[in-house]
Structure 1
Amino acid sequence: MPSVKLNNINMYYEVHGSGESLVLIQGLALDSSAWTNQISVFSQKYQVIVFDNRGVGQSDSPNIPYSTEMMADDTVELLKFLNIKNAHILGFSMGGAIAQQIALKYPEIVKSLILVTTAAKFPARARYLTKLWLKMLEEQVSTETRLQEICLWVFTDEFLADEARVTAAVKLGLNHPHPQPKHGFAGQIVALLEHNTRNKLNQISVPTLVLIGKDEIFIPLNFSEELAANIPNAELVISEKGGHNYWMEFPEIFNRAVMQFLAKVA
């Protein structure tokens, strides 16, 4: 699959399907390969664009602090390169912060906005944990242990009770063909820590869906409620199952909610 030079980085991307454009933006430390269960469904009706954010996957990882606005610029430059004039924008966690910046800075590009387990400003627990994860990486805690610890925060008790599923998830991370460099992880954490759109949410005018699983603990429900309350044309949907990564753990529930929303606004 191709990459393109933009904003002084080589950016890896994929395009699947045809129809109205739908952009999927990943969260901290995740790349486009994690969207497999979404691409297979969404691309049946939409042109799905996925890519690796700066700092992860097959995109470049410049050793500088990143910002969510910087990564929003990366995304829009990619859309311009692909000659996509407007699109539905879906962002998960850090990707949801990037999506907010796109809607604020480039409103003409955004048809609709889907914000998945994210926040206008990340909560103290999430901020503390991400700094702890970086410290664990700097202190050379094993990758296996770090992945196991992260699982505690992003999956449900149901998932964690299934030892085979946990082992498979950790193994997938251990065998990733493009492991994230430490400076890429650090750059993305800076972007997450400094993100704050609280005073601008009322400027987002496009139809917006705010999604969260009822068992989320990393970015609690009240942060999604804040988004839905302050974005004028937003609705909040709380999944009956799932935590932070509920789009991964319960893809059928997540995909159905997204497709139902897009059917209303597309």
Structure 2
Amino acid sequence: MPRVRVNGIDLNYEERGSGTPLILLMGLGADGSVWEEHVKAYEQHFRCVLIDNRGAGQSDKPLAPYSTRLMAEDTAGLMDALGIYSAHVAGISMGGAIAQELALLYPERILSLTLNCTWSHCNAYMKAVFSMLSDMYAMAKPDAFAKLLNLWIFTPQYHDENGEDLHNREAEALETMGRMPAHAFSAQCGACAEHDTRGRLADLKLPVFVTVGEKDIFTPPEHSLAIAAELTHAELTVFEGSGHTHHWDKLAKFNQLTLAFMLSNENGSN
């Protein structure tokens, strides 16, 4: 995968497909490859750019505080380096927070904005979650941390019906080489906790689609509903019975809806 020097760091990315650019921003601790099951659908229509956010994957992991705005500037720098002026932008969880800041910085460059299981600010509960995750990541073995995270992002029903999948995820975490260093995970947690776009989102006039799982306890639905309430023109879909991972456990529906939204907002290609 190629790397480009932007905003003082080397940023790793992958390109798939052709057509109008689609920037894909993943969540806390994850690299761009986690978009794989969505890109299989998206790349048939778009030039997909999967980004390893600073701190994740093969991108640089500086010893400094991160913010969602800083990571949005990273993304804009990558777009410049790739000759992309405007693009569809989609983000999951922390990626959705980065996408908000990117749209606020450069609204003229965003064809559409898809915000999945994200938030405009953290209340005391969410700040405590990110603080706890940061502490536990530094102390726990990789498989134990994966088990803890799975309890937050997958529903009880998913645990009942997909025990083997969850066990495999925990085993893979233990076997993974080059695990994200604790300082980088902590810096991303800090960026998540301090993200705040309240009162600014209403200025965005571009097409927005908001999705969330009905039973999300990691980024509870009221946060996505608050974004949709501020962006009064936004489309909103709540995935019944799903949690933070609604984009996986309702994969076909998620891909269909998000793809239809982006295709309906095509304004040419770059």
Normalised TM-score (structure 2): 0.94
Q: Following the alignment from structure 1 to structure 2, what is the Cα–Cα distance between the partners of residues 175 and 113?
A: 35
Runs of 4 or more above 4 Å deviation:
none
SS of residue matched to 2:73: helix
Match of residue 52 from structure 1: 52
Q: Structure 1 residue 127: deviation in Å?
A: 1.6
CA contact (8 A) 2:141 2:174 kept: no
The residue number in structure 2 matching 1:235 is 235
1:88-127 to 2 correspondence within 5 Å? 88-127=88-127
Is the 1:21–1:49 Cα contact (8 Å) retained in structure 2? yes
Rounded to whole Å, the distance in 1 between the matches of 2:194 and 2:249 is: 28
Query: How far did residue 241 of structure 1 move?
Result: 4.1
The residue identity in structure 1 corresponding to 2:144 is T
Alignment of 1:144 onto 2:147: no
Range with bigger deviation, 244-253 or 61-70: 244-253
Give the share of equivalent positions with the same residue, in percent: 35
Measure, in 1, the Cα distance between the counterparts of 2:178 and 2:3.
Answer: 15
Instruction: Give, in whole Å, the separation in 2 of the partners of 1:81 and 1:68.
Output: 20
Note the C-alpha offset of 1:256: 1.1
Number of aligned positions between the proteins: 265
Deviation at 1:29, TM superposition (A): 0.4
Q: Deviations over 1:175-224 (max 9, x none)?
A: 33431111101111111111101010111110000001122111111111
Unaligned runs of 5+ in 2: none
Output the CA distance in 1 between the equivalents of 2:17 and 2:39.
9
**Residues 193 and 70 of structure 1: CA distance in aligned 2, closer, same or farther (over 3 Å):** same
Question: How far apart are 1:141 and its partner, in Å?
Answer: 1.9
Q: Distance in 2 between matches of 1:248 and 1:178?
A: 25
Match of 1:189 in 2: 189
Whole-angstrom CA distance in 2 between matches of 1:123 and 1:176: 33
Letter in 2 for 1:146: F
State the alpha-carbon separation in 2 of the partners of residues 176 and 51 from structure 1.
Answer: 19
Equivalent-residue separation in structure 1 for 2:136 and 2:150 (angstroms): 15
Paired position in structure 1 for 2:20: 20
Are the counterparts in 2 of residues 205 and 232 from structure 1 also a CA contact under 8 Å? no
Q: Does 1:35 align with 2:58?
A: no
AA aligned opposite 1:50: L
Q: 1:140-182 CA distances to partner (integer Å, 9 max, x unpaired)?
A: 2222111101101101222211320111121232333431111
Q: TM-score scaled by structure 1? A: 0.96
Aligned Cα RMSD in Å? 1.3
Deviations 1:102-159 (A, max 9, x none): 1101111101100000010023332211111211233x22221111011011012222
Q: Which deviates more, 246-255 or 152-161?
A: 246-255
d(CA) in 2 for partners of 1:172, 1:237: 32
